[in-house]
């Protein structure tokens, strides 16, 4: 019994340490790729979805496809690093990161389905709602990320509110609502990851070289 309690306490201590450290599984390169994909999507949307209002299903397939590619790119990097490491702490932090971000992604997917099926007349709200929901995911994850990631969450929230305020009428489902929100947000995230984590790691590695 005492051994079991000791092991339980050790596991709890590891989880607490994981929550207090910065997660280093996200990388600037793959994060910037996801941002560039959003910008590319904004450029290509008029070619593939000429009239989003009358082609709502096609609009959703287009942007969900881009989001899926981005998730695969970022997720593959995280999975590869987790598989390579011998650090149990990093594995636990990876699960914490997934747990903190996943609810916002699931809610966003379900909300999209509900609006598409039951209230397509308010589909112009999609870009704003997606940005706001993703901002909540970033807010939930910020304790595992560099402190400057709070600015990313605020950026997504501001973009979401801006899309809801100005995104009606002629601006409904404009491609640059997605390009500016998610392209800009992911590129900002990539810059923060590079300057606060990867650049510092590179400097430490250089100073250790005899």
- Give the model confidence (pLDDT) of 148-200 as tens digits: 999 999 999 999 999 999 999 999 999 999 999 999 999 999 999 999 888 75
In a domain, 6, yes or no: no
Distance CA 149, CA 24 (A): 13
Say if 5 falls within a structural domain: no
**What residues have CB less than 8 Å from 96, skipping those under 6 apart?**
15, 18, 19, 23, 144
Q: Which of 148, 159, 146, 147 is nearest to 185 (CA)?
A: 159
In a domain, 7, yes or no: no
Cβ 175 vs Cβ 42: under 8 Å: yes
Whether 37 shows a pLDDT value over 50: the answer reads yes
In a domain, residue 71? The reply is yes
Q: With bands split at pLDDT 50, 70 and 90, how would you rate the model's confidence at 208?
A: very low
Domain assignment of residue 83, yes or no: yes
Residue 135 included in any domain: yes
Where in the sequence is the domain holding 201, given as residue range(s)?
26-205
Number of domains in the chain: 1
Tell me the per-residue pLDDT of 174-187, one tens digit each, with 9 for 90 and over. Answer: 999 999 999 999 99
Residue 200 inside a domain? The answer is yes
- pTM, two decimals, is 0.84
Residue 18 lies inside a defined structural domain of this protein: no
Is the pLDDT confidence value at 3 over 70? no
């Amino acid at each position: 019994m005492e051994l079991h309690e000791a092991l339980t306490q050790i596991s709890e201590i590891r989880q607490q340490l994981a929550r207090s450290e910065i997660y280093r599984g996200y990388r600037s390169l793959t994060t910037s790729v996801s941002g560039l994909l959003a910008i590319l999507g904004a450029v290509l949307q008029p070619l593939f979805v000429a009239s989003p209002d009358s082609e709502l299903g096609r609009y959703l397939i287009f942007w969900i496809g881009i989001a899926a590619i981005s998730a695969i790119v970022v997720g593959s990097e995280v999975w590869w690093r987790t598989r390579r490491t011998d650090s149990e702490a990093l594995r636990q932090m990876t699960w914490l990161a997934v747990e903190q971000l996943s609810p916002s992604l699931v809610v966003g997917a379900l909300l999209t389905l509900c609006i598409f099926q039951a209230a397509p007349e308010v589909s112009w709200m999609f870009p704003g709602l997606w940005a706001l929901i993703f901002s909540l995911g970033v807010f939930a994850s910020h304790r595992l990320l560099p402190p400057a990631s709070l600015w990313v969450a605020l950026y997504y929230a501001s973009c979401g509110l801006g899309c809801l305020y100005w995104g009606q009428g002629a601006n409904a489902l404009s491609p640059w609502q997605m390009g500016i929100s998610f392209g800009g947000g992911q590129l900002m995230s990539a810059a923060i990851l590079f300057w606060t984590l990867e650049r510092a790691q590179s400097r430490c590695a250089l100073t250790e070289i005899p």
